[in-house]
Amino acid sequence: MRGTILLAMALALGATGAAAAEEREFTAGDGTRFVLPVVDGLPGRAESDRAVFEKAGFDTDTTALTLTDRFSFVFKGGERPLRLRVEDVTLVPPMLLVEAAVPGDLADAGFRRSRFELSAPPCPIARGESCSAWMFGPQEFRLYRATLIYADGSTETLLQAEPFAMAGFIARLGDRIPTRPPEAAQTAQNP
């Protein structure tokens, strides 16, 4: 009987050890490689001891032909950065989307955690426009780099991947999407 119990325990421990977390590697436009866990077939959240890149997404306005990037971060342990910077690193060169001071009065996100949500300025949807160039490429993930700057001068970087499928959206807009020569492209981030 004791042998059967020990065998069952060994099998259970072996099965637990064999069920390693699945991960996926991503490569930014500049060649930077990073790994994220895979959760339900999608990239998991980038996380450090002090922060979680909780959410990245965007809203589109098909009347104005713009997109607005949105982000949320959770800061752990009661510590929050002074500033936060988010770049799109899908292509080269990286594109600054938003940089902002982190306010002192953040929304509560559970025990000794706070949440910070921010949006980038609207970006024109146009071929040749640097802030929306990722929409027209063959990649299946949009890649972000968040840089958190703390009061003690330290920084940390969180790299996040988000799946997207823009081909149907682009096809639906069709000829309404303007084409701008790269030298003429102006964005709210880089006037």
- Token output for 74: 């959770």
> What pTM did the predictor assign?
0.82
CA angle, residues 154, 71, 163, in degrees to nearest 5? 110
pLDDT tens, residue order, the chain (191 aa): 444 343 344 444 444 444 457 999 999 999 999 999 999 999 999 999 999 999 999 999 999 999 999 999 999 987 899 999 999 999 999 999 999 999 988 877 777 788 999 999 999 999 999 999 999 988 899 999 999 999 999 999 999 999 998 999 999 999 999 998 766 554 434 44
Q: Write down the CATH number for the domain with range 22-176.
A: 2.60.40.10
Residues 24, 43 contacting (CB under 8 angstroms): yes
Whole-number pLDDT of residue 137 = 87
Q: Which of 49, 131, 55 is nearest to 91 (CA)?
A: 131
- Residue 31 is which amino acid? G
Count of CA atoms in the C-beta half-sphere (13 A) of 118? 19
Whole-number pLDDT of residue 185 = 52
